[in-house]
Chains A and B, each alone.
Chain A
Amino acid sequence: DAKTTQPTSMDCAEGRAANLPCNHSTISGNEYVYWYRQIHSQGPQYIIHGLKNNETNEMASLIITEDRKSSTLILPHATLRDTAVYYCIVRVAYSGTASKLTFGTGTRLQVTL
């Protein structure tokens, strides 16, 4: 699976949009971009995933560049409960090894008042 690079930490004011970047310059054509987050002392939580089109769900939006070498997770109105470590993961889906996720160090997002 391709390697990802994320900033170590970011701050965001409550109510503002949080934009979390991820670089995955070696991504292959059949690899998806997944985002998970881990709130302190809890298991990781799935947020969203995409292949090449932008995706949106009730939690967040995922913007993938046209060359697919980077992406941005957007939390449109961050709240204090969004404070967590966010992991950007690239994986080949539908390969039988999809459960073998490679977590990097992630971005620690701190949402403040």
Chain B
Amino acid sequence: KAGVTQTPRYLIKTRGQQVTLSCSPISGHRSVSWYQQTPGQGLQFLFEYFSETQRNKGNFPGRFSGRQFSNSRSEMNVSTLELGDSALYLCASSLGPDGELFFGEGSRLTVL
């Protein structure tokens, strides 16, 4: 059974640009969550989607957004990138909102 797939795995952007990250959940999983991991702040919850609807949102500025498609695949977007957005962005999927989370390998974003 394939795990959670995140693309791209690595990317470099410059300040002011925008970025879109993609997450394909485990087959049959309908809930997708996004986390940001930085050395200073650790793992922080960004948002969660279930059945194409955002159910929960963390404490991040509006530059961070996401969406979920009918096939449960999810994307997150960060606009007007700042140096502090450099991080490992992790996606997790679960069968439903209360299921165990299965994480992907992450997308490592570097903002120059």
Provided the pairs A43-B4, A101-B45, A102-B45 are in contact, do residues A96 and B97 lie with their beta carbons within 8 angstroms?
A: yes
Residue contact B90 to A100, C-beta cutoff 8 Å: no
Residue contact B98 to A94, C-beta cutoff 8 Å: yes
Contact with B along A72-113 (1 / 0, CB 8 A): 000000000000000100000111111111111100000000
CA distance A43 to B25 in the complex (A): 14
Partner of A43, one of B97, B99, B103: B103
- Secondary structure at the B interface, as helix, strand, loop or mixed, is strand
Contact residues in A for B97 (Cβ distance below 8 Å): 96-99
Q: How many A-B residue pairs have CB under 8 A?
A: 61
Q: Does B8 contact A (CB under 8 A)?
A: no
**Closest-CB distance, A100 to chain B (whole angstroms):** 5
**Closest-CB distance, B58 to chain A (whole angstroms):** 7
Number of chain A residues whose Cβ lies closer than 8 Å to a Cβ of chain B: 22
Residue contact B4 to A99, C-beta cutoff 8 Å: no
Residue contact A98 to B58, C-beta cutoff 8 Å: no
B interface residue count range (under 10 / 10 to 19 / 20 to 34 / 35 or more) = 20 to 34
**Closest-CB distance, A80 to chain B (whole angstroms):** 20
CA distance A36 to B37 in the complex (A): 15
Q: Does B11 contact A (CB under 8 A)?
A: no
CB neighbors of B among A34-57 (8 A): 36, 41-46, 49
Residue positions of B touching A, CB distance < 8 A: 4, 31, 33, 35, 42-45, 48, 55-56, 58, 90, 92, 94, 97-106
